[in-house]
Structure 1
């Protein structure tokens, strides 16, 4: 299957930028490069409200953003609203909530769902299990505060992309084992679920498609 023209154009721009590979540069440089992501300068979709909060985590307070698509999701008269606790991607080491502002507004609007997006602590300063513990604690906080958040505790799900999808899947497993609450769903977007990466596509598309297999191995370690 050929690549779509917009993907080809993106890969050309990415190559022309000559950004260093993650395994060839300090983490500070890699993180600084994410600040130049085109999505950060895009016009944001309108949404009913975005609330910034700090919630208690196991070792630090965690910034979260709560996206609400409509006035009814904020009404104290309604507790039927579904919610998604979202963990962003970035190899457990990069990215931040600003990078996902555009996407999360769209997901909230299209799905008519309240989203609680979590800024978990990153490796290498905070290696495993810190990011995972932060994410599980944030789900626990949502269950405990479902009433004040005006969401239905039986309509709460977890989700994330890439490394965030890994965290969401792991949080769902611990939620099952600890019987914290009844998760309604998972939204896993290209999740990182295979540490060994011996599958055919990891070999066939190892280089030339923005995220090389060697970079993936670097993020895992």
Structure 2
């Protein structure tokens, strides 16, 4: 279908602004630009109220990692047996952090009714693969280890990531299976980058003019991996894993005008063939990154509504 009018207007504004693309900047410049972009986007907007926000640091393999725990409204203190979503943010493994995702994390907690644990992994290119994945894996183990203290039900913990965060969430899920770690209740992957490269049909068709560019993908992958050999590793390219069996149920969402649309679709197909329960939806007429534009795009609000409806049964107490 044609571009959603809200999206078309947004893309025109981006074009008219003349703002340089992140891939034309150094990583440090891109991070500063993102902060400026978000300051403008969030000007005058009050963060959504939640029950509680806890700022903490947890031990990682090579450094302490910031995490932010969001309890939804009505859950102001730890309650035994609460559901949780470990949230791993995107932005190409290079930019963004838990602060730049604060507005979304708050909305995610309130809509899903789950405690959201947002993880701030170390960024490339200073910390290339596998360090960000190792950080996220370590953080996931920490959540399970601390479940009782956090008031969580270890059988009701899922993982979620968008874009590069979807890559990391999928990789963590595979590694938990491979190393016989704790079992996740679900994996939520939003326009995930699950295969190194940019040769899919969607990357060719929608690789220019729709915010995330084919050149952006090259830029981010170049900064993330140490060599092309890394790109073949299943924890770097989850689509290429030898097996996708015995993984938790998956909710996979993509955007029509997104170079990564085929990544998500292809991963959904791989999981289904391996016997994994999959719910897949492509949001028509919209672009990569749309779920974070809650004040701008109607489809971002629709996504949260539909995600909440789909994820609540997966995070429900066993037997319900």
Q: State the TM-score, normalizing by the size of structure 1.
A: 0.94
- 1:64 lines up with 2:67 in the alignment: yes
Q: Where does 1:56-205 land on structure 2 (aligned, <5 Å)?
A: 56-72=59-75, 74-75=77-78, 78-205=79-206
Q: Does the CA contact (< 8 Å) of 2:121 and 2:132 recur in 1?
A: yes
Aligned residue pairs total 219
1:8 matches 2:8: yes
Among 33, 44, 49, which residue is 1:46 paired with?
49
Q: Offset of 1:16 from its aligned partner?
A: 2.2
* Separation in structure 2 between the aligned mates of residue 73 and residue 186 of structure 1, nearest angstrom: 26
* Greater mean deviation of Cα atoms: 15-24 or 44-53: 15-24
Q: What does residue 31 of structure 2 align with?
A: 31
C-alpha distance in structure 2 between counterparts of 1:144 and 1:119, whole Å? 18
Distance 1:128 1:39 in 2: 31
- Please state how far the C-alpha of 1:71 moved relative to its aligned partner: 4.4
In 2, Cα distance between equivalents of 1:123 and 1:74: 35
**In the aligned structure 2, how far is the partner of 1:90 from the partner of 1:103?**
14
Question: Matched residues in 2 for 1:218 and 1:53: separation?
Answer: 31
When residues 39 and 177 of structure 1 are mapped into structure 2, their CA distance, relative to the original with a 3 A threshold, is farther
Residues 17/29 of structure 1: CA separation in 2 closer, same or farther (3 Å cut): farther
Runs of 4+ deviating beyond 6 Å:
none
**How far apart are 1:152 and its partner, in Å?**
0.3
Could you tell which deviates more after superposition, 22-31 or 102-111?
22-31
Structure 1 vs Structure 2 CA RMSD: 1.4
SS at match of 1:52: strand
Q: Measure how far apart 1:26 and its partner are.
A: 1.5
Quote how far apart the aligned CAs of 1:73 are: 6.5
- The CA deviation at 1:8 is 1.2
What secondary structure is seen at the aligned counterpart in 2 of 1:187? strand
TM-score normalised according to structure 2 size = 0.66
1:72, distance to aligned residue in structure 2 (A): 4.0
Check the 8 A contact 2:160/2:169 in 1, yes or no.
yes
Q: Give the superposition deviation at 1:11.
A: 0.8
CA–CA distance in structure 2, aligned partners of residues 110 and 24 of structure 1:
36
C-alpha deviations, 1:11-43, integer Å up to 9, x for none? Answer: 122112222233322111111110022444332
Q: Mark the runs of 5 or more structure 2 residues left unpaired by the alignment.
A: 223-320
Q: Secondary structure at the match of 2:161?
A: strand
Asked if 1 retains the 8 angstrom alpha-carbon contact of 2:52 and 2:77, the reply is no
Q: What secondary structure does 2:58 align onto?
A: strand
Distance (Å, rounded) in 2 between the aligned partners of 1:220 and 1:157: 26
Alignment match, 2:21: 21
Higher relative contact order (CA 8 A, sep 6+): 1
